[in-house]
Structure 1
Amino acid sequence: MEQFAAWLINTYPLTNDNNRNILKEGLKLFRQGNVIHAYQEGSSMTGKVQDNGQKHVLLDEEIGDLSRCSCGATTLCPHQLATFLSVWSQSKTIASLIDGWKEQSTDNILPTFASATIKKEATTYEDSSLSSWLEFVDYQHQQYKSSIPSKRTYLTGLTHAFFPKLRTQAPKKAEIRPLFLLHASLYCMEQVIDSYDSSQPYQYIADILHRFVDTVEEESKGLFHSAIAFQLDSLLKESRQLIREKLLQQEEPFIREMFYVYQFTWNDVFQRRNWMSSELKELEGETSLQAELAKTHLLFLLKKDEDALKLVKKNGNQYAPYLFHWLQSLVSTKAKDRLESWLAISLPIVTSYIHSEPTYDRKRQLTKHLLKLLTDYAMETRQDKLYKDAMRQLMPYSYGEYEWYLFETKNYRQWVELQLWMGFELSGLEAYKLKEIKKTDAYALFPLYHVAINKALEQRNKTAYKEATSLLKTLHSLYKKEKLEDIWLQYLLQLKEGTKRLRSFQEELKKGRFSYD
């Protein structure tokens, strides 16, 4: 593989426009996941590439000119390059190849080739070398895998044995230790993702990944101040390239977890404006979901909300799971104007996403999360319009929050309307709330009692008639409290006339001393 890379760089220099186009197209095919089952066997590399039909590629490592593609090209084509990039990425970073190629020299990547032959002996590392860290971590991982008695203990041991051991072996220097652990976490994430197959529950794998994502977030915050120091610039530049590649290469169902890594590192580690602008240039021409998310986050950090929200609108429902983080950030910084702009576009997307989730528990979980964000904002700013709008749109999953809000703000008539809309029985409502409403706004309860009486009469049995009569007594007291006796008499006359064939109920009315006067 290293021999083919050297041939590639020497034969197809990037000073040539055509070669640059081949690189661009090859990268695009690779990053969009169009390469299928690329692998190396002996001195050959084989792969299939989806591009207006399936293209079959055979690469000869020892004699690059003998490589072939079913597209019919007689020289290097994007399909061949995409296949090679796929094989290369399985053990090395794309950045190391591209950097060496751009500089028209194999000097930058030959150390990587050499390291491949001694990887198994990488028992130590250089504090200032990212490639040395990764070789060391990989060696430790090989040792760990060979020591476990069963594959069934692999993932558990990765979190409870392998990574804790790496912590003890991390650099002691405070300014670089978090960066080492960040890359160690990212390495572990890759191993977890690689181990995923259809026989394992997705959520089990996702839960393990999130432990390492949490570590990335923690270590990123630890790097916030030391990342400003220029002595880390070389390490940080390599890290930026590596993390970008990992995101662009990541496929579903774990794009979200890898994007979290990208977010957290750009929030706290690569936070310089000139780096963000440079990163946006690196992402130009990339149209995958992963690239669009990366661009959106960078624009968000640069406060270029208009451009960021264009991407949100463009990607619509695909963005729904990712919007919570940006909204949370705006709430935390109390950025009222920005939050309103983001919610104007995001709330319909998030609402639709919540309603489309397959289970009630998931819908309720996401609703609770979103409303918590908006509650915090409403309490800080004393402006609750956005919170109320969201609760209305998220019914019935927002019932708990909406019911509490209406009662606490003494919107008792809307509270009653909500109970009727939900179809709740009067007997099932909390007594202390009904008592409070009777004191303050008895008229608001009229609809609840009228509905409860009608439902009791529909049951057509003596027990229900007694219940209806009892409810009538309470309702009568409410009419008296509101000084609406004339309306009460009209209601009672209509009720008696409409139920005159219900003899048992008429008897209950007589017992209850309901007369026509």
Structure 2
Amino acid sequence: MLKLQIPKNRMNYLIKQIPLHFDAAVLEQGWEYYHKGRVADVDLKGTSIQSTVAGKRLHSTTVNLEHFQDSSCSCSFDGFCQHIGATFFSLYAPYGRPELLLQQLKQQIFARKKPLRGSSPAQERKDAAKANKPEEAASPADWHRFFEGRFHGFSISHQHSIETFYDSALESLPGFAADWKSSMREIYMLHIVLFMMRKIEQFYQETKSSYLSYYHENGCKIAAKNCEDKLVELAQGMDLNASFTAEPKHMLATLKMLGEFALQGKDSPIDWLFVYRFIWWKLSGQKSAQKEEIQRLDALLSKKDQLAKKKDAVIAARAHFHIIQGDTDSAFKLLELLAHPQAKDYFLYLNYYYNDKQWQDMLVWLRWLFKSIAQANHDDFRTFCQYWLDTTKHLDSDSEWVQVMESLLPRSYYYYTAYLLQTKRYRQWVDLQLANRISPLNLYTLELKAIEEHDPALLLPLYHQAAERAVLEKNRASYKTAVRLLKKLHSIYKQLGQNDRWEHYVYRLADKFSRLRAFQEELKKGKWIR
């Protein structure tokens, strides 16, 4: 078994490079060489891997980990040979099953149809002429059929396939529209991302019953977020209203397709509702198209016996058009009908108003979201609290923020305690620790030091509570903890010049727990009692 294991990021790089340079048959022969144990003397030299591979004779190979195209072999093959392929599979072995990776890479090679290294430019032009290409005047549905053909048979079978699909689609598909007019090319790029989203959703559905479903689900969610970010980047870099005016037929087809994806309410790693609302918000100038979409949504809402998730998606979509039209009250009224409201579905609006610095509108939405945030997951709860905090900085008073944080305790503890320290409300901070029974030993030293410098007396009840709770645990370890807390308590009393109060307190404590002999011994060791 190969002992050398290269870093994972280098392995990912090689996996992305293999389909760009290898012929499928040659790569499979490389796997056979690896499988038969013909790879030996694998060693790392600088940024390259050197190995010896046994064919009809011994061949020396070099695999460059930074510039794969510079890899070489001593054999006479013109291009990337089976010996380089065999070395690659040897390097992959610590990460997974090379035979599964082989099948995935072959699918990518067939999809890409990349020429071998060393093929002539004339041959490349000839191959390109034969290749099926999307037509500029074709419908978006035809483009998607072309995309499907390019990635026919692509499926998840190893840990890198979702990443490689994302990279492959972005590398191989945009070039077909290089000569198109800009308005059509921009719409085509949007459809590449929509196709990627749809395929990621398909991968997710196909692997839900797999024993690796949890891993694939995480991979799909990461790729889905990348797609959403890419779509936002594309949409913000173009004028969608101008694109609609220039290409109304294609834009209407795009919106229809997007509606079909977004209004199903399916379990998906893609936030289709976000994509749908984001695109429509960018088309605020298309009143006629909006009117038709509103009529369609009203018709869907009037249907009975719909699944709850699907109806929720339609309600959220219809409410979005109220928001576009500035009628937030009607939107809220409609959103009250949601069967399963989720806070994250409305961060789109918080983000919009935050970037536009519309703090009163932010406040309206934060108040509306408050009733559903208690059931939100950790990430959504954190996002909500951060938006509230950022909004509070632009208001005349933070009293409402404080009330919200107090009402969400104990879940809001970390956000609230940090804010109290930041605003130097030390007494409230101490009260919060007391209410949550937090020991000073579990708090940051810098936080305690800041309060001690402001007013040491504020810390007395915190240490009193923690010391007595430690004693009540009634074991040697807890008694030592109690003494440790008492030492700090003693130093605070000395700092305040209240030695008499300290002596009175420690004797009262000794009397209260007089039957705990081990604790009495610890007090005597500290020379606090005789």
Distance 1:414 1:225, change over 3 A: same
Say if 1:259 and 1:290, in contact at 8 Å, map to a contact too: yes
Question: 1:327 maps to which residue?
Answer: 350
Distance 1:308 1:380, change over 3 A: same
Q: Provide the rounded CA distance (Å) in 1 between the counterparts of 2:335 and 2:232.
A: 24
| Structural mapping, 1:179-258, within 5 Å | 179-195=187-203, 196-197=205-206, 198=208, 199=210, 200=213, 201-224=216-239, 227=242, 230-248=245-263, 250-254=264-268, 257-258=271-272
Distance 1:389 1:312, change over 3 A: farther
Q: Provide the rounded CA distance (Å) in 1 between the counterparts of 2:356 and 2:525.
A: 65
Distance 1:169 1:236, change over 3 A: same
Shift of 1:268: 1.9
Q: Provide the rounded CA distance (Å) in 2 between the counterparts of 1:241 and 1:417.
A: 56
Say if 1:130 and 1:238, in contact at 8 Å, map to a contact too: no
Alignment counterpart, residue 151 of structure 2, candidates 140, 144, 153: 144
| Structural mapping, 1:351-390, within 5 Å | 351-354=374-377, 363=378, 365-381=379-395, 383-390=397-404
| Structural mapping, 1:71-220, within 5 Å | 123-127=132-136, 129=137, 131=139, 133-145=140-152, 155-171=162-178, 172-195=180-203, 196-197=205-206, 198=208, 199=210, 200=213, 201-220=216-235
Shift of 1:244: 1.9
Shift of 1:208: 2.7
Shift of 1:182: 0.7
* One-letter amino acid matched to 1:290: A
Say if 1:124 and 1:136, in contact at 8 Å, map to a contact too: no
Q: Secondary structure at the match of 2:333?
A: helix
Q: Secondary structure at the match of 1:353?
A: coil
* One-letter amino acid matched to 1:446: L
Alignment counterpart, residue 315 of structure 1, candidates 338, 360, 381: 338
Q: Provide the rounded CA distance (Å) in 2 between the counterparts of 1:167 and 1:203.
A: 27
Distance 1:484 1:241, change over 3 A: same
Question: 1:9 maps to which residue?
Answer: none
Shift of 1:298: 1.8
Does structure 1 residue 342 correspond to structure 2 residue 365?
Answer: yes
Deviations 1:62-99 (A, max 9, x none): xxxxxxxxxxxxxxxxxxxxxxxxxxxxxxxxxxxxxx
Q: Secondary structure at the match of 1:314?
A: coil
Shift of 1:130: 5.3
Say if 1:170 and 1:180, in contact at 8 Å, map to a contact too: yes
Shift of 1:398: 3.5
Say if 2:322 and 2:331, in contact at 8 Å, map to a contact too: yes
Q: Provide the rounded CA distance (Å) in 2 between the counterparts of 1:473 and 1:285.
A: 73
Say if 1:178 and 1:223, in contact at 8 Å, map to a contact too: yes
Question: 1:284 maps to which residue?
Answer: 298
Distance 1:223 1:130, change over 3 A: farther
Shift of 1:508: 5.5
Say if 1:247 and 1:259, in contact at 8 Å, map to a contact too: yes
| Structural mapping, 1:4-19, within 5 Å | none
Distance 1:409 1:130, change over 3 A: farther
Question: 2:324 maps to which residue?
Answer: 301
* One-letter amino acid matched to 2:367: A
* One-letter amino acid matched to 1:180: Y
Q: Provide the rounded CA distance (Å) in 2 between the counterparts of 1:405 and 1:281.
A: 47
Shift of 1:305: 0.6
Deviations 1:387-411 (A, max 9, x none): 4344334444433322221112122
Shift of 1:124: 4.1
* One-letter amino acid matched to 1:259: L
Deviations 1:22-64 (A, max 9, x none): xxxxxxxxxxxxxxxxxxxxxxxxxxxxxxxxxxxxxxxxxxx
Which stretches in structure 1 are left out of the alignment for 5+ residues? Answer: 1-120, 355-362
**Paired residues, what number?**
383
Question: 1:60 maps to which residue?
Answer: none
Q: Provide the rounded CA distance (Å) in 2 between the counterparts of 1:425 and 1:182.
A: 54
Say if 1:465 and 1:508, in contact at 8 Å, map to a contact too: yes
Deviations 1:402-460 (A, max 9, x none): 22211121222222233334443222322232222122122221222112221343355
Q: Provide the rounded CA distance (Å) in 1 between the counterparts of 2:477 and 2:199.
A: 66
Q: Secondary structure at the match of 1:352?
A: coil
Q: Provide the rounded CA distance (Å) in 2 between the counterparts of 1:495 and 1:273.
A: 77
Q: Secondary structure at the match of 2:182?
A: coil
* One-letter amino acid matched to 1:307: S
Distance 1:256 1:467, change over 3 A: closer
Question: 1:475 maps to which residue?
Answer: 489
Q: Secondary structure at the match of 1:176?
A: helix
Q: Identity rate of aligned residues, in percent?
A: 25
Shift of 1:350: 2.1
Shift of 1:180: 1.0
Which stretches in structure 2 are left out of the alignment for 5+ residues? Answer: 1-129, 302-310
Say if 1:122 and 1:139, in contact at 8 Å, map to a contact too: no
* One-letter amino acid matched to 1:238: A
Distance 1:170 1:366, change over 3 A: same
TM-score, L = length of structure 2? 0.63
Say if 1:416 and 1:444, in contact at 8 Å, map to a contact too: yes
Distance 1:310 1:513, change over 3 A: same
Say if 1:216 and 1:264, in contact at 8 Å, map to a contact too: no
Say if 1:296 and 1:311, in contact at 8 Å, map to a contact too: yes
Shift of 1:167: 1.0
Distance 1:257 1:194, change over 3 A: same
User: CA RMSD, aligned part only?
Assistant: 3.5
Distance 1:505 1:154, change over 3 A: closer
Alignment counterpart, residue 450 of structure 1, candidates 464, 470, 485: 464
Shift of 1:510: 5.9
